[in-house]
Structure 1
Amino acid sequence: MAVDPEFIQTATAAPPGGHYSQAVAYQGLLYVSGQLPVRPDGSHSMAASFADQACIALDNLCAILTAAGRGPQDLLKVTVYVVGVEHWPTFDRLYAGYLGDHRPARAVVPVPHLHHGYLVEIEALARAC
């Protein structure tokens, strides 16, 4: 018997800016859509520092995990897109602060630009149950 996917939506993370869900849980996995540093009220933070943008995006990721009944310890794979590889050490330090001893698989991908002129976007795969 097929199980339908569960669509995760929370007001404590940035609202979707298009035709997608914040996350989808299906067959034991949670697929978290790319999180830009948009605040939960929908306001933008393009003028903020890289560190502030990264924290907003990480807060969104954590809020979505919480809404799905999960936490950072359930992350399996994280992909991070950064504008400017020079931001990698700052991101790594902040990320370690959010995840503590948990070390999921991860890729940091330097890109030339992101939507709205942001400097970071984070997507993830986590355990859903």
Structure 2
Amino acid sequence: MKTKSISTNKAPKAVGPYSQGIKTSNLIFTSGQLPIIPETGELIKGDIKRETRLCLDNLLAVVEEGGAKLKDIVKVNIYIKDMNDFPLINEEYEDFFQEHKPARSCVQVAKLPKDGNIEIEAIAVL
């Protein structure tokens, strides 16, 4: 199986020894995206809706670099530090995806890289 690493300056650089995404056959797997501003490398905190949107924007940049579109995303995993943020995350998520409804998981975790509040990853099918 042939794989290709996906890299774009429209999403934050990886914070470890991994790719922003991997394309294999007709699938794209993104690495988890934190709410990091790609141009500055700054992690934003304090507004979970803004953090969610930035994660989703970063995620979509990787998906698009791999040749897919928003409608091609079939699975999303969301990791959050505080389940009390779930309703606000859902509001931003619904605004982002509109009528498209990928399968999704959302779990609360003890800690995220860079002490972020949210991290989002996805799988897209071309």
TM-score range, shorter chain: over 0.9
- Deviation (angstroms), 1:59: 0.9
Q: Match of 1:91? A: 89
| SS of equivalent to 1:112 | coil
Q: Specify which of 110, 122, 126 is matched with residue 124 of structure 2.
A: 126
Render the CA deviation track for 1:81-100: whole Å, top value 9, x for unaligned: 01110111111111111111
Q: Match of 1:20? A: 18
Q: Match of 2:109? A: 111
Q: Match of 2:62? A: 64
Structure 1 vs Structure 2 CA RMSD = 1.3
Cα distance in 2 for residues equivalent to 1:20 and 1:42: 20
Corresponding residue pairs, total: 126
| Structure 1, unpaired ranges of 5+ | none
Cα distance in 2 for residues equivalent to 1:43 and 1:27: 31
What TM-score results when the alignment is normalised by the length of structure 2? 0.93
Percent identical among aligned pairs is 30
- Deviation (angstroms), 1:119: 0.5
- Deviation (angstroms), 1:5: 0.5
